[in-house]
Chain A
Amino acid sequence: MNATNRNEQAALARAVLEIDVNNHPGVMSHVVGLFSRRTYNVEGILCLPVEDGTRSRIWLLLNEDQRLPQVIKQAEKLEDVIAVRRHHAEHAVFSQLEEFFRP
């Protein structure tokens, strides 16, 4: 894990990825493995099944750096990834969860 303090965190640009995937054991490993093996820290993860449960949606909160476009392309190549959508850091999905992460 990258050791960054609170101020450094705030200074970094953030990105939020919304990833539609097939729902089976191993999909999460495929997706987060793309990041970890590039020493790219994933700051936040959310995942729940959608519709009838054959698919899931993964939300990732990331620090934005120049490697992000390449990792997105790699994610799009995964067999179990159906779509990747990129959002700005202001997206509500993680900010609405903040109350569960108070010290």
Chain B
Amino acid sequence: MTETLTGAQITIRLLERQGIRNVAGIPGGAILPIYDALGQSTVIHHVLARHEQGAGFMAQGMARVSGQPAVCMASSGPGATNLLTAIADAKLDSIPLVAITGQVPRAMIGTDAFQEVDTYGLSIPITKHNFLVSSAEELLEVIPRAFRIAASGRPGPVLVDIPKDVQTQAIEVAKWPEPGTALPAVPAATEQIAAAAAMINAAQRPILYLGGGVVHSGAARLAVDLAEKANLPTVMTLMALGSMPVDHPLSLGMLGMHAARYTNLALDECDLLIAVGARFDDRATGKVAAFCSQAKIIHIDIDPAELDKIKTANLAIGADVGEALTQLLPAVAENAQKNWGDRVDALRAEFPLHMPEAANPRTHFGLIRAVAACLDDAAIIATDVGQHQMWVAQAYPLRRPRQWLTSGGLGTMGFGVPAAIGAALAEPQRTVVCFTGDGSIMMNIQELVTAAEENVNLKIVLMDNASLGLVHQQQTLFYGERLFASQFKVTPDFIKVAQGLGIAALDLDLAADPAAALQDAIARPGPCLIHASIDVEQKVYPMVPPGAANREMIGA
């Protein structure tokens, strides 16, 4: 049956057909027709963010926990520019996002119209692809295609800019397109899999190096199976944490700048590095020439441009990592060899990760462990960016893929709270904890009121050292202790701020029994901010100094 629908109605209908149930955004003049249509939808819940960047990160939170593309919306001009940081963040961490922006009417494009900005041009370098839609008819092709592109291959953000007159243009719709879904990846060549298996079987000191691609591909279980069968000590990037339970006997935890010493020292000795869905980021490799310098490299990645980009691989396999591991698993030999495992265990015993005062909830590590003690593996753990992020990465017992939401590539302060809200909306049955700092939370603090409005089950653990901790740390260590612009002279009363923005608050500093108070706050449903002061002199250790090789770590 033919229906007469506007571009706005078509857009919303296509989102419904994609299975979208939550959309985060803020309306404005140039996107009002779409909002008018969205208001009529009985299946899509709109989350009214208080800043478009918050909306972008909420959509990211939804996408990161579900693995499916999520949607954010903004109006033209400042609405669109405010989204950009969240889109760039999604690009660097390969998160499937569809951002829909309103644009001034076509006839006014290029006239410096009110709230006109070149959203298409601005978003080219930070999206996987982008569209400026020129007719209502075109929406029928562009919207499903945007979802297909966001989800296919290496996932990423797609922006669809829709002029206001395209939103109001009415057309006859006789037939709806199929929803856009991920295209199947090209399978790995069998001879390459055989070559990889031969290299693994011949290696004396192999290490498996898991990246975020393992999470995106849903291949965590396969990666653990491979590690167990071939007896492979396994390191994870920041993005891959949770792929292998951190307390698994083969897990060496996170590698790189803030890894445990034994992890980087084991990598330094390995003779075969099996990189799976990882991109040899500088925070993971340190000085590239010195990274695994004795090792041959097998590199499996779905993005051919990642192969040989930073390190030339001895064997580069362009494939979906889940598909490649499925083929690889039966081809590798059971390996009972003990020498390398014993050597790794000796390194672990000699150079462990030091977590001083981990039993005291008034310290940074102690607080993280105390929070973990209140939760099981079903919980979702989000962070902001800074010292607290690295401490949580080091100390939280992450055991499940998609349990861990953190801004890796772009390192965006302000990510945590809105991403955690999005996660809580997408998976309301779970408890979501967001670790944040007093610097990071201020960058999207307005979203606390969104958390109140949505009544999400979110516990924000604010580690407050009244400073920009990582800047403070670097100035202390590498800039002659010249502390500048890293200490806040005035800090907010976060308890009052939280209460003022409509959510419960707990000051752990004042709690007689902090562990019990924490347990109580986390067990109570709904949003809550938990404030805890921490020592500004604490550093994220160990640390690879900028430009140094990973073996040259400083600190504990």
Q: Tell me the A residues contacting B by CB distance below 8 Å.
A: 25-26, 29-30, 33, 37, 69-70, 73-74, 76-79
Contacts and interface: CB of A to CB of B under 8 A. Distances in A.
A70 B305 contact: yes
Interface residues of B, number: 14
A26 B132 contact: yes
A29 B305 contact: no
A25 B161 CA distance: 14
Given A26-B132, A77-B303, A79-B149, A70 B124 contact: no
B304 A29 contact: no
B129 interface: yes
5 contacts: A25-B132, A26-B120, A30-B124, A69-B308, A77-B305
Interface of B: 120-121, 124-125, 128-130, 132, 149, 303-305, 308-309
A62 to B, nearest CB: 17
Contacts, number: 27
Given A30-B124, A79-B129, A74 B305 contact: yes
Contacts of B121: 26, 29
A70 B125 contact: no
Contacts of B128: 79
Contacts of A79: 128-129, 149
Contacts of A77: 303-305
A42 to B, nearest CB: 16
Given A29-B121, A76-B304, 17 more contacts: A25-B132, A26-B121, A26-B132, A29-B124, A30-B124, A33-B124, A33-B125, A37-B125, A69-B308, A70-B305, A70-B309, A73-B304, A73-B305, A76-B305, A78-B129, A79-B129, A79-B149
Contacts of B124: 26, 29-30, 33
Nearest to B305: A73
Nearest to B129: A79
Contacts of A74: 305
Nearest to A70: B309
A81 to B, nearest CB: 11
Nearest to B145: A79
With most chain B CB atoms within 10 A of its CB, the pick from A74, A77, A78 is A77
A77 B128 CA distance: 9
A73 to B, nearest CB: 4
Contacts of A26: 120-121, 124, 130, 132
B88 to A, nearest CB: 13
A74 B309 CA distance: 11
A16 B130 CA distance: 27
Nearest to A79: B129
A78 B129 CA distance: 7
A74 B307 CA distance: 11
